[in-house]
Amino acid sequence: MGKATREAYGNALARIGKNNTNIIVLDADLSKSTKTDTFKKECPDRFFNVGIAEQNLISVGAGLAAAGKIPFVSSFAMFATGRAFEQIRNAVCYPKLNVKVCATHAGITVGEDGATHQSLEDIACMRVLPNMTVVVPADEKETNAVIEWAAAYEGPVYVRLGRAGVDDVSPEEYTFTPGKSTQLIDGSDVTIIACGALVGPAVEASKALQNNGISARVINMASIKPIDVDAIVKAASETGAIVTAEEHNILGGLGSAVAEVIVAHKPVPVEFVGVQDTFGESGTPTELMTKYGLTTDDIVNAVNRVVARK
- Cα–Cα dist 264/258, whole Å: 10
Nearest to 289 by CA among 45, 44, 111: 111
* Residue-range domain boundaries for the chain: 5-160, 182-303
Q: DSSP code of 25?
A: E
Residue 229: per-residue pLDDT: 98
Reported as a single tens digit per residue, the pLDDT across 258-299 is 999 999 999 999 999 999 999 999 999 999 999 999 999 999
* The residue type at 193: I
Mean per-residue pLDDT, 90-100: 98
Are 5-160 and 182-303 the same fold in CATH?
yes
Which residues lie below 8 Å from residue 45, measured CB to CB, with a gap of 6+?
A: none
Bridge partner list, 193: 219, 244
Reported as a single tens digit per residue, the pLDDT across 32-74 is 999 999 999 999 999 999 999 999 999 999 999 999 999 999 9
- Cα–Cα dist 196/8, whole Å: 13
How many CB atoms are located within 10 Å of the residue 131 CB?
13
Note whether 228 and 179 are within 8 A (CB): yes
Q: Whole-model pTM?
A: 0.97
Cα 78 to Cα 84, 108, 117, 135, 287: the distances in Å are: 9, 11, 6, 16, 21
| Architecture of the domain defined by 5-160 | 3-Layer(aba) Sandwich (3.40)
End-to-end CA distance of the chain: 34
Nearest to 175 by CA among 152, 198, 203, 202: 152
- Cα–Cα dist 58/129, whole Å: 15
The fraction of the chain above a pLDDT of 90, given in percent, is 99
Q: Answer yes or no: CATH 3.40.50.920 is held by domain 182-303.
A: yes
Mean per-residue pLDDT, 146-175: 96
Nearest to 98 by CA among 122, 127, 121, 132: 132
Give CA 171 to chain center in angstroms.
18
Which residues lie below 8 Å from residue 272, measured CB to CB, with a gap of 6+?
A: 243, 244, 250, 255, 259, 302
How many CB atoms are located within 10 Å of the residue 291 CB?
13
Reported as a single tens digit per residue, the pLDDT across 218-249 is 999 999 999 999 999 999 999 999 999 999 99
Note whether 4 and 163 are within 8 A (CB): yes
Bridge partner list, 23: 70
The catalytic residue positions are 54
- Cα–Cα dist 142/306, whole Å: 29
The fraction of the chain above a pLDDT of 70, given in percent, is 100
Cα 75 to Cα 27, 83, 247: the distances in Å are: 6, 11, 18
**pLDDT at 79 > cutoff 90:** yes
Neighbouring C-alpha atoms within 13 Å toward the C-beta of 250: 16
